[in-house]
Structure 1
Amino acid sequence: MGWLHSLFSPLKKLWVRLHSAHKKSRGIYILYDDVKSCPYEDVHVLWSILVESHKPPALPPIG
């Protein structure tokens, strides 16, 4: 049965790595609900600045 464990162990590690990478890809947006429910305007302004700074760069115009 050791061979069975040696076969599935790397697959399990790969599965965990891929699954955890998916959660990390959400980045700062995991805080969105907390920010949305916050009553302070300062928090909303800081959030908008943070979101604007994380947008992908715009593509240059074609033509």
Structure 2
Amino acid sequence: MNKATVLKSVTAVVGAGVAIWLIINELISVMENLAAISVPGFPRLSKLLERLKNTVSKSKGDNADEK
């Protein structure tokens, strides 16, 4: 293996990781918006998003106390 082959492989893996992260991030955003307008049919999703929001809120509150 030469450096060019390794660099292409690393670039492909990093690019795929970034693309997957962006897709997941957008899907979460769409699901949050559906939950915000009370679209029925997402009870598990609603619970998951509520837990996520609570976790984020708690972590933001903890950081504010430390400052």
TM-score with structure 2 length normalisation?
A: 0.48
Answer 1 or 2: higher relative contact order, Cα 8 Å, separation at least 6.
2
TM-score with structure 1 length normalisation?
A: 0.50
